[in-house]
Structure 1
Amino acid sequence: MRNCYFENRRRYGTRRIRGALSKNGVSIGRCKIRRLMKEENLKAIQARAFKPRTTDSKGITAAPNLLAEIKSEECAPAKIVIGDITY
């Protein structure tokens, strides 16, 4: 059980350890694994939720406004097509 726990960088809890042990032919219950982990003070590290960072650390500026440079007389139907990608 300890080997399975440390081989997986302390990410495996009782359910994953039980699944890994059952694949290797060892039959053991989750409650017993939980008790053994508690006795040895082993706790699975839970992954943190992804937080998108909104700050711009690279100093990238916005794209130039190319539509403002085009004169209104030069515009014709379907000459300029604009699209948007929303995340």
Structure 2
Amino acid sequence: MRQSAKPVVCKASAHLKAAFMGSHQSYGNRRLVTAMADEGFHMGRYKVRILMRQAALKPVWKRKFNHTTDSKHDLPIAANVLNRQFNPTAPNLAYVSDITYIRTAAGWLYLATVLNLYARTVVG
């Protein structure tokens, strides 16, 4: 049976842990290879992986998208007055709207539309 090696505390592993903590525990072995090279420690990806395993360093990924919908709330819910009747008999009886988020290089944009159901035209 193979015995696990004791973690070796060396100068490189101390710098590796400092670089990992400096990244808010988000760097994996590939980014740590670059960070270690910037500090003057040139080592391969698999060596960094072994040192990370010995020091029990596991990256934590943060969600890139915040979900804003909360369906489990105690607030009152509006009545469904349209009741899936999408073909009104006269103009200006029913309007529907929707909102969506569009990711751009400048950040998030919000697109909201209002439709007149009778004419099927965008009114706002």
Bucket of the pairwise TM-score, normalised by the shorter protein? 0.5 to 0.7
Which residue of the partner structure matches residue 111 of structure 2?
86
* Higher strand content, 1 or 2: 2
Number of aligned pairs? 62
Q: Does 1:30 align with 2:62?
A: no
* Counterpart residue identity of residue 111, structure 2: T
* Higher helix content, 1 or 2: 1
Percent of pairs identical after alignment?
28
CA shift at 1:36, angstroms?
Answer: 0.9
CA RMSD of aligned residues (A): 2.6
> Per chain length, whose mean CA-contact separation is higher, i.e. which structure has more relative contact order (CA < 8 Å, sep 6+)?
1
TM-score by length of 1: 0.57
1:8-35 CA-to-partner distances (Å, cap 9, x unmatched) read 2111111111111112221100101101
TM-score by length of 2: 0.42
Q: Does 1:13 align with 2:38?
A: no
